[in-house]
A and B are shown apart, each in its own frame.
Chain A
């Protein structure tokens, strides 16, 4: 049967679109249902945090780091504090390290629940989204209990953490750790062997390990392509060197593989929280830090494994109490670069799958 020649058209998707996870605009070049080109357009949420930071003292910058990845704020607080501590040569007390690790891992669960939930919602599986938010609510309650805030926690401090964990928190966290694996079964029952889910995600938005590395793809996305690289293992920070966990890795490089990686990471994060609660040492939660933080001249680049990937802070100090240049290396910014490669040649509906599967957050991309 002869195929009718169709015209090339440009389709604008976003910035206000339920499947773009915020204010992402994607310009699609289509022929019929086939995607010929994808061009992400970003910057709608640009706040100039790096410029603001140059005019603030090191402690004043802390609240801004929450607003990068607003679904996993403790992970970003941690990344920033690690960077300043390296610059200052501050050694954090053991208990604070454990508390940081616990909070970072709860935020990983929290972030991946949104990642998996909204990804499923985009494709049409609404129930999973509701289930994911049921558990996310529990993690937010934990944050609220420890920090007083549900989303923008601002929990880490340079040299330690804001407050000690109360007995009530430990009890609640223990309850959460115990029930979470059973709750995860709900998502798996709904998705992992669901035929529609498999058809929509298997062999869709494929990217190989070499292509991914070349495009600076990082975090769970590159692990879905078979690169066994996790900064928590490769360059341990906080208390990760004392934790026993596995790197989640899948080899297919498609949307389904990335979904499986996120599920496994949630399980491993739960394991880490469990160990953290069991082995939580006694002691100080705050190191002695000079009141005015004035690092010596020089530059450091410190990276941590945030839920979305490599979260790095490059800080250049000129010896004053404000950073000369502070660059925030955000994982979603780099992950978005892979979107055109993933979506090209596929169908329009698969663009939504691709965006959902790389789990971007626009607060982090636009900074």
Chain B
């Protein structure tokens, strides 16, 4: 295949995708239904990637995240007892700079759910350690790498970078090739 060919194919594909933007309505989805019955005002958006309905994302209001987590874990019809992952994403150009993405799994019913919240740089988020203890390290990682502050976390400190490190490496404005040496970055007082 020549390169032109490849590029030509690609452009065609892109066009097709733009034409048929798939809008899937999740109102009949049992998870969304259960969530909406309780938190109708706090659910901002439900969407999925392309046509893949197993990639369900529910965007919620950040103030309610702890309540919603408590609900999805304890409600007998949902039972999301297992937290798979928590990821922080940085959008420096946005007003609400950070996103937090919670990946939940229900072992009994084999279902996945992704919760998403957005918030501003200086806002703190409610920690969900009281809901899933396993989120402890993930929240510490989000704090370490992106500088997200959690209220109610029992032991919020750096986890991968050393204590006293300056800056948060996974922020988009943190340089890839650091001009400072690790010694200059590390502001730790020796005991």
Contact = CB atoms under 8 A, between A and B. Distances in A.
A316 B52 contact: no
Interface in B39-65: 49-50, 52, 55, 57
Interface string A192-221: 000000000000000000100111111000
A361 B166 CA distance: 27
Interface residues of A, number: 46
Contacts of A334: 134, 137
A337 B136 CA distance: 8
B107 A314 contact: no
Interface stretch (B29-37, B156-164, B183-191): B156-164
Interface string A276-306: 0000000000000011101010111101000
B97 to A, nearest CB: 13
A251 interface: no
Contacts of A310: 84
A43 interface: yes
A52 B169 CA distance: 11
B116 to A, nearest CB: 9
A229 B133 CA distance: 20
A78 interface: no
A235 interface: yes
B52 A86 contact: yes
B49 A300 contact: yes
Given A213-B81, A229-B107, A50 B170 contact: yes
Interface residues on B, range: 35 or more
A312 interface: yes
Interface in B102-154: 103, 107, 110, 112, 114, 132-137, 145
B169 A48 contact: yes
B85 A314 contact: yes
A51 B160 CA distance: 13
Interface of B: 3, 6-7, 9-10, 13-14, 17, 49-50, 52, 55, 57, 81-85, 87, 89-90, 101, 103, 107, 110, 112, 114, 132-137, 145, 158-162, 169-170, 174, 176
Given A216-B132, A301-B114, 7 more contacts: A48-B170, A299-B49, A301-B85, A301-B103, A327-B87, A329-B103, A367-B160
Interface of A: 42-43, 46, 48, 50-52, 55, 86-87, 89, 210, 213-218, 227, 229, 234-235, 290-292, 294, 296, 298-301, 303, 310, 312, 314, 316, 324-325, 327, 329, 333-334, 336-337, 366-367
